[in-house]
Chains A and B, each alone.
Chain A
């Protein structure tokens, strides 16, 4: 696994900066974590890439869950993400909870 764009900034204007982290999962797909920062605060995050998420509408709910629970501060984000997916019967092809936890780990604006 190889993290890329670690802390790479995107200009969004009005005091909001974008950070991006990405991983090409071996044998899987590309997962990109896009984060909007205002000062030191995470304002929003999005997951992008060429993975599959079933049902597709569930991805927005996962993003909200990660935001509401400040997933980047979690001790064991991998287990929490896996439980969330299982609880909602969401299925992911192309990345695993561990890959997402890896991108979230130590995230700081």
Chain B
């Protein structure tokens, strides 16, 4: 398990990929990582049209960066200090072969983490965790070269105006949820319970490691070097971000 730290958007995505490579080459064990984003960023899904889901001018005004993930799924606003991102990287055979079951398993870890801080949550297929019917966590999963990677977020706090000024929500997504206002669809830990940030990270760590052998480690210099290269060549590269 790696200690929480914040990185640039490109580096965050590159680190998940570098860790997956290290796990695949068996130079690293299964890894849990908790991280933040500095500066704030919107991450978009691998197959999304950037202009359709992100207000680029508003991002520029607010100093919010944009990064395209290697995983599918939707656009997520990672507001600095307001959400906690996790990643789980392990050999594929350690997780259910069925993709939906794997989402449910890790979704269950999130539900347990929230329970530890006194918030009742439920897993909502395909990949969400809800509190009182509102989304508090989403995730995206990848399986490549025998390695399972899932990253996801937990909203600690929300500035709704800021969030929905950078995210464009397609009307069909609202229709599908039977709501008119996207801001009504999300909630945060602090809206539910005034729990300190450190408690939430501790609860996540505890819920994620239960029934597992674990130790706290650090990224290796090789992983850092590889991540810097991946960040430069892929995630900070406009051809990757703006194309697909």
Whether B175 lies near A91 (C-beta < 8 A) is no
Count of B interface residues, CB-CB < 8 Å: 27
Residues from chain B with Cβ under 8 Å of A28 in the complex: 126
Interface segment, one of B45-53, B112-120, B200-208, B223-231 = B45-53
Does A7 have its Cβ within 8 Å of any Cβ on chain B? Answer: no
- B172 near A2 with CB under 8 A, answer yes
- By the criterion of a CB under 8 Å from any partner CB, how many residues of chain A are at the interface? 26
Taken residue by residue from 58 to 79, chain B's Cβ proximity to chain A (1 for < 8 Å, 0 otherwise) reads as 0000000000001111110000
**Segment touching B, from A53-61, A70-78, A99-107:** A53-61
A71-91 near B? 1/0 per residue, CB < 8 Å = 000000000000000000001
Question: In the complex, what residues of B have CB within 8 A of residue A55's CB?
Answer: 142-144
Residues of B within 8 A of A52 (CB): 71-73, 99, 126, 140-141
* Contact call A30/B173, Cβ cutoff below 8 A: yes
Residues A4 and B47 in contact, CB atoms below 8 Å apart: no
Which residue of the partner chain, among A4, A91, A94, contacts B172 with CB atoms under 8 Å?
A: A4
Residue B216 is within 8 A (CB to CB) of chain A in the complex: no
Q: Would you give the shortest CB distance from A65 to chain B, in whole angstroms?
A: 16
Known: A27-B125, A91-B99, A93-B99. A53 touches B176 (CB 8 A): no
Report chain A residues within 8 Å CB of B244. 46, 48
Q: Say if the beta carbon of B192 comes within 8 Å of chain A.
A: no
Within the complex, the shortest CB–CB distance from B93 to chain A, in Å, comes to 15
Query: Would you give the shortest CB distance from B182 to chain A, in whole angstroms?
Result: 14
Contacts of A4 in B (CB 8 A): 172
For chain A residues 10-51, which have a beta carbon within 8 Å of chain B?
22, 24, 26-30, 32, 34, 46-51
Main secondary structure of the interface of A (DSSP, over half): strand
Interface residues of B in 122-150 (CB under 8 A from A): 125-126, 140-144
Instruction: Give residues 196-243 of B contacting A (CB, 8 Å).
Output: none
List chain B residues, Cβ under 8 A from A94. 72, 126
Contact of B49 among A29, A48, A53 (CB under 8 A): A48
B23-62 vs A, CB cutoff 8 Å, 1 = contact: the mask equals 0000000000000000000000111110010000000000
Q: Tell me if A30 and B170 are in contact (CB < 8 A).
A: yes
Of chain A, the residue at the smallest CB distance from B49 is A48
Contacts of A51 in B (CB 8 A): 47, 72
Cα distance A30–B88 in the bound complex, in angstroms: 25
CB distance from A32 to the nearest CB of B (A): 7
User: Are the CB atoms of B72 and A50 closer together than 8 Å?
Assistant: yes
Does A32 contact B143, Cβ atoms closer than 8 Å? no
Contact of B47 among A2, A24, A48, A91 (CB under 8 A): A48
Distance of B18 from chain A, by nearest CB (Å): 17
Which residues in A have some Cβ–Cβ distance to B below 8 Å?
2, 4, 22, 24, 26-30, 32, 34, 46-56, 59, 91, 93-94
Cross-chain pairs A/B with CB under 8 angstroms, 13 sampled: A26-B176, A46-B244, A47-B47, A49-B47, A52-B72, A52-B73, A52-B99, A52-B140, A56-B47, A56-B70, A91-B99, A93-B72, A93-B99
| 9 A-B pairs closest in CB distance | A52-B72, A50-B74, A24-B172, A24-B176, A48-B49, A50-B45, A56-B46, A93-B99, A54-B143
Q: Give me the interface of B with A, judged by CB distance under 8 Å.
A: 45-49, 52, 70-75, 99-100, 125-126, 140-144, 170, 172-173, 175-176, 244
